[in-house]
């Protein structure tokens, strides 16, 4: 294990912030602004970009990926001392001046960077108000010196993206000729392509009168100058440049004099606005933007009392969302992640799926079908109505045969043709998401909701039929062992058993060169069993017992196929390849044991209650062969070379990504499995290994943000074992949240009511929780009275049988639950 004992900040749990205390974090440590339609990514030095709804098609500001120094793009602020000519950036980038003091507080939906340099304190707060499509930057400058008046110049700068971020980065022959802006008073309007089919514009406004401005990048920076040394700032004079083509930017120039001890607040707004297509121009017939509808908005948010009020609303919004599930346990990392950061990350994945992070460029992938369904498990209790809408959107991209588009574009909500379907696990996740929604809300009406296929009007059926077809999709695609055919891939996108790619650069995900009628997936089999059992439970709940039995029979048949053909002796196999050979078996030279089937078979209940001991054995084998101090790796031994018949998994160097990296998404399946089998110590130990807060003290090994999960931590075969990558947008968020809240702490929604069945470490004396469920607030106190996981419940002082709290009579909104856990001694 690599050693590292460096922190770059600390958690402030009271304010729900992570406080970064030095700007040179190993990677830019980011946060997200915005909760609904307008989003910004913001780093600890003010970098990043923003967009309206779709990170590719409505990008406001330009961002350069994979650049040096890391992350040069963003929200630039420069200060210049007019007396000495000294220049610095109060957020450190892009000048990287040696600031005397620096902190960045990433909070829920906002970021505050504070610094001191040359006796000037700068404090800048960035956030997106609820319901608005703009970012507010509130900058306060304070003269800390006693006795000296300070004469400062302040320059802002953003670089506009020409809306379609992909086109912006690639289609230069056109784009360098189309940039247009208007400048009126203290507002710079970006209007590229507004003359033709766009009716949206961006604006960058400032609360102060301007001494000057710039809108042309080269005029602002100076030829061959970078963002770290704009000529305009160095000279202390804007050029009032108007852009015509090339690169539109927005830069305000403000002068301010600060008496000793004095402070001044300056507000910037960076926003998106749409005009009615018929009313785009003012006067009509001209080419001038109609600014009548946007100006009042700008005026509103430029007033600091309005901006402050919007900030308080944002805080209250997050208090409300997080208030639905709060816990107090003996472990600070558990509390912090459950109460704040893990829940927050679940909301961010809800909003963005896998589209825009510092590892996802926002120009490629849309919303994943499998991803979004799983993300839902982590946010359904915070925003049930939005979860409902998301389910209906996803189901509408399902195809008539029950399969699904693998991705869809958030702006159009249409399936993405370039990637298509044929990821044969996709449909099952829809069932699991709907089941989670039903358990959380009890809202069975969603099952009758008419939903189209492939978004085709006229093709609507009730949602329940979509679920039915999802099951059928798998049953109609079984291979030689009666196990589901894998198609392009299953949960593991990189296990490509039908691809056989020899062409450099060819997509492993979409290339198919074999007929796909032999390679079978144990993961899809387990998912099917699990989903069919959920369908049975739904049917039962609705009183359809015959139908429930039919689903149970389907599940049992598939479970039997798994037992007959996928038990390898000490663990579950992973797949049969195109030639019918085993994958993830002791017979294999490499890749003998995989994590996914060990977790998922147990979650599906296969080998759990049948005296076979298989689930226990699979768990023990997984821990023995896959366990590392940084979590369980995806498979072992890692593939040491490229295997044509296995595909992308073997394309990664050993220890990275799917080739034996620690996947923080599949680890929680093992935690849940451990909890299901009653092993609280094991489950929680595994939970802590990948819990970002628990890894904070090895930040220079882990390198990604210590407040959110990353997709992957380099496995033991990697030279950088323990190093995380692909933070923020990952199924790890939802699954870790589910593992800790529902299975380890055991506060679990069911169709009949909230269940309390903790499987916590033996050493814990108990914990308490506050959970809002179907409009009722449950205050839960769990006390350990002995060893084991046996549970006795008292609800409002009365003993109830079993572990499910009966739903209270209508009108009752608060319920007290006390739980005695374990067998009392003697
Ligand atoms: C990655 C996978 C990812 C897939 C999606 C692969 O290169 O390794 O983790 O799911 O791309 O496109
Ligand atoms: C990331 C993808 O978003 C997810 O869908 C997939 O399951 C994992 N990679 C594993 O390959």
Cα separation, 431 vs 469, in Å, equals 10
pLDDT, mean of residues 390-405? 97
Is the Cα torsion angle 504, 505, 508, 514 positive or negative in sign? negative
Q: Could you tell me if 412 and 427 are in contact, meaning their C-beta atoms sit under 8 angstroms apart?
A: no
DSSP-based three-state secondary structure for 691: coil
Q: Give the ligand 1 atom nearest the CA of 365.
A: 12
- pLDDT for the residue 1: 42
**Residue with CA closest to ligand 1 atom 10:** 493
Q: Give the ligand 1 atom nearest the CA of 712.
A: 9
- Whether the CB of 354 sits within 6 Å of ligand 2: yes
702 vs 409, higher pLDDT: 702
Burial 779-807 (b: 16+ CB within 10 A, else e): ebebebeeeebebbbebeeeeeeebbbee
Cα separation, 351 vs 733, in Å, equals 13
Q: Give the ligand 2 atom nearest the CA of 492.
A: 11
- Which ligand has the shortest distance to the CA of 664? 2
Tokens 């882990």 belong to 702
Residue 329: Cβ-neighbour burial (10 angstroms; 0-12, 13-18, 19+): buried
pLDDT, mean of residues 480-492? 97
- Whether the CB of 353 sits within 6 Å of ligand 2: no
In the predicted structure, residue 144 carries a pLDDT above the cut 60: yes
Ranges 3-17, 28-42, 635-649: which has the least confidence: 3-17
Cα separation, 623 vs 593, in Å, equals 11
Pocket test for ligand 1, best of 509, 655, 730 (most atoms within 8 A of CB): 509
Ranges 505-519, 531-545, 782-796: which has the least confidence: 505-519
- Whether the CB of 360 sits within 6 Å of ligand 2: no
| Longest Cα separation, the chain | 90
Ligand 2 centre distance from Cα of residue 290 (Å) = 45
Q: Could you tell me if 635 and 593 are in contact, meaning their C-beta atoms sit under 8 angstroms apart?
A: yes
Cα separation, 808 vs 817, in Å, equals 12
Tokens 């073997």 belong to 650
In the predicted structure, residue 392 carries a pLDDT above the cut 90: yes
Pocket test for ligand 1, best of 355, 371, 374, 494 (most atoms within 8 A of CB): 494
Q: At what angle do helices 369-379 and 342-352 cross, to 10 degrees?
A: 140
Q: Which two tokens stand for residue 114?
A: 């504070």
Q: Which long-range contacts (CB under 8 A, 24 or more apart) does 685-688 make?
A: 685/761, 686/631, 686/632, 687/334, 687/736, 687/739, 687/740, 687/744, 688/331, 688/333
- Which ligand has the shortest distance to the CA of 735? 2
Ligand 2 centre distance from Cα of residue 743 (Å) = 23
**Residue with CA closest to ligand 2 atom 10:** 492
- pLDDT for the residue 406: 94
Neighbours of 118 (CB within 10 A): 16
How do strand 814-824 and strand 776-784 relate by DSSP bridges?
A: parallel
Pocket test for ligand 1, best of 367, 423, 493 (most atoms within 8 A of CB): 493
- pLDDT for the residue 72: 64
- Whether the CB of 657 sits within 6 Å of ligand 1: yes
Ligand 2 centre distance from Cα of residue 443 (Å) = 29
Neighbours of 592 (CB within 10 A): 21
Q: Give the ligand 1 atom nearest the CA of 726.
A: 9
- pLDDT for the residue 5: 59
Per-residue pLDDT of 407-444, as tens digits, reads: 988 778 888 888 889 999 999 999 999 999 999 999 99
**Residue with CA closest to ligand 2 atom 3:** 371
Per-residue pLDDT of 765-799, as tens digits, reads: 999 999 999 999 999 999 999 999 999 999 999 99
Ligand 2 centre distance from Cα of residue 117 (Å) = 44
- Which ligand has the shortest distance to the CA of 419? 1
- Which ligand has the shortest distance to the CA of 425? 2
**Residue with CA closest to ligand 1 atom 2:** 493
Cα separation, 274 vs 278, in Å, equals 11
- Sequence-distant (≥ 6) Cβ neighbours of residue 196 within 8 angstroms: none
- Which ligand has the shortest distance to the CA of 733? 2
Cα separation, 160 vs 181, in Å, equals 10
pLDDT tier at 73 (50, 70, 90 boundaries)? low
- pLDDT for the residue 512: 85
Q: Can you point out the beta strands (E) in 144-287?
A: 150-163, 181-184, 187-190, 200-206, 212-216, 248-258, 263-274
Q: Could you tell me if 113 and 51 are in contact, meaning their C-beta atoms sit under 8 angstroms apart?
A: no
Q: Which two tokens stand for residue 765?
A: 């004396």
Cα separation, 156 vs 136, in Å, equals 13
Pocket test for ligand 2, best of 365, 432, 491 (most atoms within 8 A of CB): 491
Ligand 1 centre distance from Cα of residue 528 (Å) = 23
Cα separation, 498 vs 645, in Å, equals 7
Ligand 2 centre distance from Cα of residue 493 (Å) = 6
pLDDT tier at 2 (50, 70, 90 boundaries)? very low
Q: Could you tell me if 497 and 538 are in contact, meaning their C-beta atoms sit under 8 angstroms apart?
A: no
CA distances from 87 to 95, 155, 532 (A): 8, 10, 65
Q: Using the 8-state DSSP alphabet, how is residue 825 labeled?
A: P
pLDDT, mean of residues 81-89? 98
Neighbours of 811 (CB within 10 A): 5
Q: Which two tokens stand for residue 345?
A: 């990350």
- Whether the CB of 493 sits within 6 Å of ligand 1: yes
Ligand 1 centre distance from Cα of residue 642 (Å) = 16
Q: Could you tell me if 252 and 155 are in contact, meaning their C-beta atoms sit under 8 angstroms apart?
A: yes
Tokens 């030829």 belong to 223
- pLDDT for the residue 826: 64
Ligand 2 centre distance from Cα of residue 370 (Å) = 8
Cα separation, 270 vs 295, in Å, equals 13
pLDDT, mean of residues 166-175? 97
- Whether the CB of 426 sits within 6 Å of ligand 2: no
- Whether the CB of 658 sits within 6 Å of ligand 1: yes
pLDDT, mean of residues 45-55? 96
- Whether the CB of 726 sits within 6 Å of ligand 1: no
Q: Could you tell me if 189 and 289 are in contact, meaning their C-beta atoms sit under 8 angstroms apart?
A: yes
DSSP-based three-state secondary structure for 619: helix
Q: At what angle do helices 545-566 and 595-603 cross, to 10 degrees?
A: 150
* H or E segment to which residue 470 belongs: helix 463-475
The mean predicted confidence, pLDDT, of the chain is 96
Active site (annotated) includes residue 700: no
pLDDT, mean of residues 178-188? 98
Task: Tell me, rounded to whole angstroms, the distance of Cα 242 from its chain centroid.
Answer: 39
- pLDDT for the residue 411: 78
Per-residue pLDDT of 207-228, as tens digits, reads: 999 999 999 999 999 999 999 9
Ligand 1 centre distance from Cα of residue 494 (Å) = 6
Q: Could you tell me if 62 and 51 are in contact, meaning their C-beta atoms sit under 8 angstroms apart?
A: no
- Whether the CB of 494 sits within 6 Å of ligand 1: yes
Cα separation, 661 vs 664, in Å, equals 9
Q: Could you tell me if 745 and 767 are in contact, meaning their C-beta atoms sit under 8 angstroms apart?
A: yes
**Residue with CA closest to ligand 1 atom 5:** 493
In the predicted structure, residue 4 carries a pLDDT above the cut 60: no
Ligand 1 centre distance from Cα of residue 648 (Å) = 9
Which one of 493, 568, 686, 717 is the catalytic residue?
493
Q: Could you tell me if 630 and 721 are in contact, meaning their C-beta atoms sit under 8 angstroms apart?
A: yes
In the predicted structure, residue 3 carries a pLDDT above the cut 60: no
């Amino acid at each position: 294990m690599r050693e590292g004992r460096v922190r770059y900040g600390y958690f402030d749990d009271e304010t729900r912030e992570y406080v970064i205390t030095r700007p040179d974090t190993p990677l830019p440590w980011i946060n997200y602004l915005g909760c609904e339609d307008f989003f910004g990514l913001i780093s600890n030095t003010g970098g990043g970009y923003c967009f309206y709804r779709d990170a590719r098609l409505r990008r406001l500001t330009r961002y350069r990926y994979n650049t040096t120094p890391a992350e040069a793009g963003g929200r630039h602020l420069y200060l210049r001392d007019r007396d000495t000519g000294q220049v610095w950036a109060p957020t450190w980038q892009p000048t990287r001046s040696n600031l005397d003091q620096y902190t960045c507080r990433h909070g829920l939906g906002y970021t505050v960077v504070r610094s001191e340099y040359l006796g000037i304190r700068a404090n800048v707060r960035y956030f997106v108000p609820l319901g608005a499509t703009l970012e507010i930057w509130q900058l306060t400058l304070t003269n800390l010196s006693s006795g000296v008046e300070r004469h400062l110049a302040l320059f802002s700068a953003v670089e506009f993206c020409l809306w379609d971020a992909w086109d912006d980065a690639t289609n230069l022959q056109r784009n360098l000729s189309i940039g247009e802006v208007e400048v009126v008073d203290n507002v710079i309007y970006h209007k590229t392509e507004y003359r033709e089919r766009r009716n949206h514009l961006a604006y960058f406004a400032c609360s102060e009168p301007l001494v000057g401005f710039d809108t042309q990048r080269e005029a602002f920076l100076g030829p061959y100058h970078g963002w770290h040394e704009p000529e305009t700032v160095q000279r202390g004079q804007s050029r009032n440049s108007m852009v015509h083509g090339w690169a539109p930017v927005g830069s305000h120039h403000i002068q301010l004099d600060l008496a000793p001890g004095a402070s001044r607040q300056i507000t910037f707004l960076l926003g998106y606005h749409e005009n009615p297509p018929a009313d785009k121009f003012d006067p009509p017939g001209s080419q001038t933007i109609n600014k009548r509808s946007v100006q009042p908005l700008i005026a509103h948010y430029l007033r600091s009392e309005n901006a402050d009020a919007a900030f308080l609303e944002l805080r209250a919004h997050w208090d409300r969302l997080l208030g639905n599930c709060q816990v107090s346990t003996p472990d600070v990392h558990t509390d912090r992640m459950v109460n704040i950061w893990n829940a927050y990350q679940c909301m961010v994945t809800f909003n963005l799926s896998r589209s825009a992070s510092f590892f996802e460029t926002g120009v490629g992938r849309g919303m994943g079908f499998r991803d979004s369904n799983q993300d839902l498990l982590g946010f359904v209790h915070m925003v049930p109505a939005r979860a409902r809408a998301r389910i209906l959107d996803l189901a509408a991209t399902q195809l008539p045969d029950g399969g699904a588009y693998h991705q869809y574009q958030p702006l159009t909500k249409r399936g993405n043709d370039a990637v298509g379907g044929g990821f044969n696990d996709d449909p099952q996740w829809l069932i699991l998401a709907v089941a989670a929604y039903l358990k959380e809300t009890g809202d069975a009406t969603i099952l009758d909701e008419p939903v189209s296929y492939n978004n085709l009007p006229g093709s609507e059926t009730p949602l329940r039929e979509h679920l039915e077809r999802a099951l059928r999709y798998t049953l109609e695609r079984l291979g030689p062992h009666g196990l589901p055919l894998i198609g392009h891939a299953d949960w593991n996108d990189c296990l490509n058993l039908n691809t056989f790619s020899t062409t450099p650069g060819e997509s492993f995900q979409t290339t198919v060169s074999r007929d796909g009628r032999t390679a079978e997936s144990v993961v899809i089999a387990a998912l099917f069993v699990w989903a069919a059992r959920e369908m049975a439970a739904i049917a039962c709940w609705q009183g359809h017992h015959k139908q429930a039995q039919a689903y149970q029979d389907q599940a049992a048949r598939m479970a039997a196929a798994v037992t007959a053909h996928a038990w390898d002796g000490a663990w579950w196999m992973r797949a049969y390849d195109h030639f019918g050979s085993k994958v993830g078996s002791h017979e294999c030279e490499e890749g003998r044991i995989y994590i996914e089937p060990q977790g998922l078979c147990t979650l599906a209940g296969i080998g759990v209650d049948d005296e076979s001991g298989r689930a226990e054995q699979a768990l023990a084998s997984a821990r023995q062969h896959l366990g590392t101090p940084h979590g369980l790796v995806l498979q072992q031994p890692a593939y040491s070379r490229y295997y044509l018949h296995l595909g992308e998994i073997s394309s990664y160097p050993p220890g990275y990504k799917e080739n034996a990296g620690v996947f923080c998404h599949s680890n929680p399946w093992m935690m849940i499995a451990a909890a299901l089998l009653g092993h609280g110590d094991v489950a929680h130990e595994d939970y802590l290994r990948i819990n970002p807060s628990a890894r904070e003290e090895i930040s220079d090994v882990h390198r990604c943000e210590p407040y959110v999960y990353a997709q992957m931590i380099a496995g033991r075969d990697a030279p950088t074992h323990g190093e995380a990558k692909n933070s923020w947008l990952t199924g790890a968020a939802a699954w870790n949240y589910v593992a800790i809240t529902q299975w380890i702490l055991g506060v679990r929604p069911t169709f009949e009511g909230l269940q309390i069945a903790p499987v916590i470490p033996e050493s814990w004396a108990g914990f308490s929780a506050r959970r809002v469920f179907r409009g009722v607030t449950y205050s839960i106190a769990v006390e350990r009275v002995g060893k084991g996981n046996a549970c006795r419940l008292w609800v409002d002082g009365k003993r109830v049988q079993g572990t499910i709290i009966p739903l209270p009579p209508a009108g009752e909104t608060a319920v007290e639950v006390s739980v005695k856990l374990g067998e009392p001694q003697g």
